[in-house]
Amino acid sequence: MFPEIRFDTVEAILNDVLKVLEKRGAGDLHLMRKLKFVPIMVDSICKRISTCPKGKLSNLAKVISLCIKILAKFCSIRENRNYMIQTNRLMPLIDLLSWCLNRQTELFFGIEFMPGLFQTITTHLKHRVPYECQMLKEHMTDLLISSSIPAKLKNKLAIVKSLQSNENEDSLG
């Protein structure tokens, strides 16, 4: 059962958090980590996509979009990227990316948070982790590969290229 969420309230709160993060600096980002804001946000919002009823997906997508923006800001500090890897907070994001890539092409192109989500994940892939985090990063990479995400991305890119070539042919005559 999908517990009822007041999306308008959550959206307003996340917008306020985003405004605070844009005005302030690294201290707020450290405070977010200390207060365990990110695990709560990832676990209670981003994991819901697979159990959300179709009628509420657009509302949840708006909230997830704000979460991804907050995560992008949060992960701008090296220690926070280490934290995300150490606490396995990227795994639900990888699952979210996989869920998005499994959608029909029309729905896939309507997912606003995809670029930010993809950027957040790739930032962590490129991130140089301390030695004690190396196994966790390798596990994250294994999950990406075993989820067939590179192949799914390649398929979506092929669809985009074919759509672009069809549009170019139509515009030429």
- CB within 8 A of 61, min separation 6: which ones? 111, 112, 113
pTM exceeding the 0.75 threshold for the entire prediction: yes
Per-residue model confidence (pLDDT) at position 66: 92
Tell me what the pLDDT averaged over the chain comes to.
83
Q: What number is the average pLDDT over the span 9-27?
A: 85
Burial per residue of 11-39, b for 16 or more beta-carbon CB atoms within 10 angstroms, e otherwise:
eeebeebeeebeeeeeebbeebbeeebbb
Tens digits of residue pLDDT in 69-85:
999 988 888 888 888 88
Residue-range domain boundaries for the chain: 7-102+109-172
Per-residue model confidence (pLDDT) at position 12: 93
Assign 110 a pLDDT band (cuts: 50, 70, 90): low
Per-residue model confidence (pLDDT) at position 135: 87
Per-residue model confidence (pLDDT) at position 139: 86
Q: Do 57 and 113 meet the contact criterion of CB atoms below 8 Å apart?
A: no
